[in-house]
A and B are shown apart, each in its own frame.
Chain A
Amino acid sequence: MTTTQEPILDLDDIQGNIYPGFNKDHQTIRCFTIVDAAAARSAIADLLPDVSTSAVVQAYARLRATLKRQRAGASGLSATWMNLSFSYSGLAKLSSAAIADAVDDGAFKAGLPDRSPLLGDPLDEAEPGHPANWLFGGFKTPSIDMVMTVAGDKRADIASYLGDIDARMAAHKTPGGKPALELVFELVGDTLGGELNGHEHFGFRDGVSQPAIRGRAKSSPDKFIVERIIDPALSDAKSYGRPGQVLLWPGQILLGQPTQNGQDPLKPNQPFPLKVGWAKNGSFMVLRMLQQDVPAFWAEIRSCAAKVLGRSDDAAIDWVGARVVGRWRSGAPVTRTPDADRPEFVADNRVANDFRFRLAGTRPQLVATQPPLPDLPLSQADPKGAICPFAGHIRKVNPRDDAVELGGPGDTLTHLLVRRGIPYGPAFADPRHAADDGKERGLIFVSYQASIERQFEFLMQNWVNGDDLPHVGSGRDAVLGRHRPQEGAPASSIEIVDGEGKSHRLVQMQDFIVARGGGYFFSPSITGLEQLTAEPVA
């Protein structure tokens, strides 16, 4: 990027979970109802200095990486982070309905429960996934106005920090003596521990692929925020930070910044016009508590394996599982290692995400300061979905270089988002052999994006739950899609090609993922938070 200057971002103004992400082993997400606006404003003003910014979280991450390298082990550092986000009703209470409308009067205003049918959730009120039955944020639970995300390295750190916060917030009361903000739900997320750390409950490594943002930090404008390690002589250097780490214009995630242009990924569109200035550097946060049915998932994989391979031993179910997700349990991309899980592919973050679907991968050439890349096979061309099915989760939500209904792959980028999820509930030692234990577990899905409609909802509505999108005949997302028939839509199916090149179309009748709650929120900039805590001007 020498020709088009990338924008300067004020990392002191952006909440740190948006970028670069808290990336901690433990999180507590507290949902509040604002009982009294004035008291809430003063409580939030009190918390404001604690809000972890991008600058701080990034500085910590860099220091941690340096120490880990130097000591060839743990960094010895620890930190506890906090961010705040508000729903439409929260913004309206703190400021006014007009101002909340000005932030977004579309999906954000309508709220997650009303949008739920568009996302593939059950339409039948009797089902647990229907918003009438959600544990929080649904039709029958208290309105959530504010979400506090606290993340730390140890549970105890979070507990003590929350104790401190409780004490501080207790000082802000309604005129009637009640707390200004009432805690209505608390979500507790932890990584799964041991070998499964960094994996989700089905057993697959998560959080491997994340887009990076373009831009330079206000504090060091001569450097890109995200390091570029591809030889600048190659055209890929303009599009990726690390190999496979796609660069997006910051407006894809942050309001008021230059936005991703579907026609030309290298040339941004003008920032989206804002109706309220302080919305700049804010981001919309989607929160979904997604329950995972681990035994059902592997039972279906096992039955698929029997149909496709004629066997259902561990190797066979791993083989099918890798196709259903698009990565092996270790996270190794299936198009790079189609026949066996090879953890070497995730050990190096310059390799883990470097693959394509349609065309064969090319060997990246890195800048001279980079150590050599391990000599591992590149991704194979898979234009027909013979290696990674079109219904495979990661091929659905990020088709990369695939042909898509929107035109070209540049268009795909306008729908990407950043994910900040963490599992909840107890882990199974080996998810593949899990038996139903009646316990709640799943993923606390969190994503940040500049537009809920264009990003999170588009992915869910058009691609995850589209039988023919982005690829005609793909079937719905084999992990995340709604598979069971409803409202005239038949069951979904996935097409898997076996080792001999024979294609098998398998009907999916089971839903593995059920929504249990959530909401649409806005994570304002620090400036925005200051505005919200100030007395509203009528």
Chain B
Amino acid sequence: MQHQYAPAHRIQSIVKAPKAKDRRQPAAAAAAAAKKGKGGAGGAVFPPFPKEDLVFRGGRTMPNMSFKTFYLGKGWASAPLAAPRQKLDAAIDAAMSDPGLNGIVAQYFGNAPITTKALPSAVLDVPGEATFDKGDIHNLVKRLFKSGNLAALDLKTTLINFVLPPRAVLSSDGGGNERVKRVVRAARTRPGTPEAEEEDSRNGLGGYHGSVHIQSPTGGVTVYYAAAVFSDGDNGIPISGWEPWENICATLYHELCEARTDPDVEDAIRTGDLRFIGWNSNSGQEIGDFPIGEAGSDLERVFKRVTIAAEPHTVPIQLMWSNRVHGPEAPGAHAGLAMAAALAGAATEVISLGPTTAATTAPTFGNGIVLSPPGNLKDFKEKDSFAKWSSERSKDFDEAIERTQQYLKGLPSQYFNPTRGIPNTPDHAEQPIKWPGFPRKLENLGLPLDEQFRRAEVISGTSLGRLKSQDEYLEWFVTRGDDGRIVRVDFTCEGPEYWRFLAEHEPKVLLALYQKHISPDVKLPDLITGKNYNPLNVWNTTRGAMHLIQPSNNLFAEIVIAGDATILRKNADGSLKTEAQDLIDCANYGDRGRASDPHIGDLVNALARDGYVISLKDPVGLYMSRPRLVGFTTPDKKPISQDWFTVARGSEEFILRGVFAAPKGSKFTVGDLSIGGVPLRWGGQVAKVIDMGLTGVAYGKGTISDPAFDCGDPPRTAVMAGAAFTDFHKPTRRM
């Protein structure tokens, strides 16, 4: 268990070929003995060299795996390549299922049986290229994935093999500055040979394996792949006397064994995090690597045609490192077991991938809708007020979409404006989002309960607890009797926009509603100063609560947070961000300390990661639940009825305003009640049992797969920058 390495060494050792002296020394010392092993029926072919034994580092492994081979280029579909292709398919399948060969690799899986399933291979109709670099290979993986050709596979345990056409050069360059695991033909690696020269198949590269992370509608997926050169002549790793398909088979065998024991090596290289490594040696060699180095110029010592029980009885492979013999191990005699039929002769599927760049496409949209007032309120008297209201909200949606466009720059937004059209997709989902109405920030200050309730509520001078603290889109106003006991609590979750709208378009309605819900004494000039509606008027602050006033509590904020949250966010290593606090810290779409903002963002972003096109459900608004009254009792220990809470605006389905007060005829008042035996002294005790909610709508799962973005400030439009809580024309969530 002494494997504590300095990180710098760890990384390099993964990609470097073994140092000449590490390799040569045992190889030389063993030269004579090794010759004896040549052609032997089993056991060790080199003297033991325990220093290179493989060690488990904690990463993934694949005891049970499948593989699917894609032959690049239409040439593979017909003569003269069809026959070698079929031989290769049969041989690699047989080699990977052979109990003798698997018995060697099984030692890395506690000698439990390992299995391999060969999936039907296919010819990929891609243009022949002179050179396939790593970027090309990664692109092929992505295109295959997007084309749906990998859809049926369990990608977690499947290796996608690419076999290059004749003469095509494989290179490990490209695809960014990442480097991949490769097979280096040792014979060509002379001491002092610069690294770069080894990185293509003209210079000893036979193949490599790695992984590609793809953002997909269903979250991130990892596709494991290997690439193998058509080794022949001066390209790849040709073994003398072998046909090219045999060379390829040995390379694929090498890569499959390595992918089985160390699939995530590319992540380890990308991130520098050694925990991704499965099995490798202390010098960083994977199961297939050191044997090549050890064989030196005498590659035949580890590239062997071995006899197996099943058809085709002989398979060309490369011997793998075996800890139990501390060297490359050839399979011994083994019992013949029934094997899967070889695939030779099976019909070949030729796949074409369509356009080279798999662009993300927006769905088409049908007719838009007229957005209803919150809670489907029917307050408006003027005929065109409904349309006006809808068009105001439409502007909010447009602005929210524009914000996403500052990232997407023309790519389709995952947020849509329902007034402009509803997506034409077969599927459609709703996402209710709920959070507690009592301010989470207050709860998290570490204060005694009573103090939390007091701070949420207290009115001292011009400072209202409500304005300061009630920031979960639920606000309440407490009316107390002369003895200080509560007689009623008014709850509201109506955005200020609606009231500004009334002041502008329906002033009579505005006044009537204030008079009805707050006090018959309200006069219009109390509400409108000059031409402007004053949301912080006395009837909506110290004398009542008609609608939300906390600066962050408004409809625009709701619309914008949901929109901002449709932008996918990524970590430094390219993986998608998925955690609530992480997302809000990254995108900055609200206050991380609240329950609402991070939670709304969290659930909306999850829909976005699923590739949906998203909006808010009509009627757009914020709605409270009824309080959970279980445990509320009158002084005679009787439970109270639902009549204590009256829906004053909206409907049971969409509660916008609720009043908690004694029902007519009750001999008790609110202040007489207890909740679970604790006297009801604060409005916040009732707020604690109210949930807030809104509903997202999502169309077309998997429709859009936009790129993910790094963290950074949200784009600040002029409007956003100037927002302050007294400016209710364009109020905003704190950014």
Contacts and interface: CB of A to CB of B under 8 A. Distances in A.
Nearest to A486: B630
Given A270-B446, A371-B1, A472-B432, A107 B676 contact: yes
Contacts of B449: 106, 453
Interface string B219-261: 1000000000000000000000000000000000000000000
Interface in B434-464: 434-436, 440, 443-450
A472 B434 CA distance: 7
A408 B579 contact: yes
The DSSP consensus for interface residues of chain B is mixed
A407 B594 contact: yes
Nearest to A362: B275
A407 B581 contact: yes
Q: Which of A251, A371, A372, A375 has the most CB of B within 10 A?
A: A375
A21 interface: no
A447 to B, nearest CB: 17
Assign chain A's interface to a size class.
35 or more
A453 B436 CA distance: 15
A114 interface: yes
A110 B275 contact: no
A67 B434 CA distance: 52
Contact of B595 (A115, A116, A405): A405
B451 to A, nearest CB: 9
Given A259-B446, A401-B579, A407 B677 contact: no
A487 interface: yes
A363 B59 CA distance: 7
A375 B56 contact: yes
A464 to B, nearest CB: 13
B53 interface: no
A171 interface: no
A384 to B, nearest CB: 9
Contacts of A10: none
A115 B632 CA distance: 10
B1 A358 contact: no
Given A117-B630, A123-B639, A381-B219, A472 B275 contact: no
Contacts of A409: 579-581
Given A372-B1, A405-B599, A111 B677 contact: yes
A262 B59 contact: no
B444 A263 contact: yes
A373 B58 contact: yes
A269 to B, nearest CB: 3
B592 A403 contact: no
A417 interface: no
A221 to B, nearest CB: 24
Interface in B242-293: 274-275
A261 interface: yes
Interface in B54-79: 56, 58-59, 61
B4 interface: yes
B118 interface: no
B390 interface: no
A406 B678 contact: no
Contact of A273 (B275, B448, B584, B594): B448
A331 to B, nearest CB: 22
A261 B1 CA distance: 38
Contact of B592 (A106, A109, A114, A263): A263
Interface in B596-631: 597-599, 602-603, 606, 630-631
Nearest to A260: B446
Nearest to B625: A468
A383 interface: yes
B110 interface: yes
B39 interface: no
B578 A359 contact: yes
Contacts of B581: 407-410
A406 B433 CA distance: 11
A140 B427 CA distance: 57
Contacts of A116: 676
A109 B677 CA distance: 8
Nearest to B441: A263
Interface string A255-275: 000010111000001111100
Contacts of B602: 403, 408
Contacts of A46: none
A111 B674 CA distance: 13
B630 to A, nearest CB: 5
Nearest to B582: A408
Contact of B580 (A107, A273, A363, A403): A403
Contact of A375 (B110, B435, B639): B110
B572 to A, nearest CB: 14
A468 B581 CA distance: 21
Contact of B631 (A117, A404, A454): A117
B599 A406 contact: yes
Contact of B598 (A107, A407, A472, A488): A407
B693 to A, nearest CB: 9
A520 to B, nearest CB: 10
A450 to B, nearest CB: 10
A469 B639 CA distance: 24
Given A408-B580, A411-B444, A117 B676 contact: yes
A123 B641 CA distance: 13
Contacts of A365: 58, 274-275
B676 A114 contact: yes
Interface string A391-428: 00000000001011111111100100000000000000
B99 to A, nearest CB: 22
A401 B677 CA distance: 34
Contacts of A106: 449-450, 678
A110 B56 contact: no
Contacts of B56: 372, 375
Nearest to A403: B602
Interface in B548-604: 578-582, 584, 592-595, 597-599, 602-603
A47 interface: no
A107 B678 contact: yes
Nearest to A272: B446
Nearest to A114: B677
A102 to B, nearest CB: 11
Nearest to A404: B599
Given A365-B58, A372-B56, A401-B579, A383 B630 contact: no
Interface in B195-241: 219
A405 B580 contact: no
B606 A269 contact: no
Interface in A327-376: 358-359, 362-365, 368, 371-373, 375
Given A403-B606, A405-B599, A261 B446 contact: yes
B446 A269 contact: yes
Contacts of A362: 275
Given A115-B631, A406-B595, A407-B599, A414 B444 contact: yes
Contacts of A271: 446
Contact of A403 (B444, B603, B676): B603
A118 interface: yes
A472 B678 CA distance: 29
A269 B445 contact: yes
B279 to A, nearest CB: 10
Contacts of A262: 440, 443-444
Interface string A108-146: 011100111110000100000000000000000000000
Contacts of A410: 581
A263 to B, nearest CB: 6
8 contacts: A107-B677, A110-B678, A114-B677, A262-B444, A359-B578, A364-B58, A383-B578, A414-B444
Given A269-B445, A407-B581, 16 more contacts: A107-B677, A107-B678, A114-B677, A117-B630, A117-B631, A117-B676, A123-B639, A363-B59, A365-B58, A368-B1, A383-B578, A383-B606, A406-B440, A406-B599, A408-B582, A472-B434
In the A-B complex, the 10 residue pairs with the smallest Cβ-Cβ separation, listed nearest first, are A110-B677, A114-B677, A269-B446, A408-B581, A363-B58, A408-B580, A117-B631, A118-B631, A262-B444, A115-B676
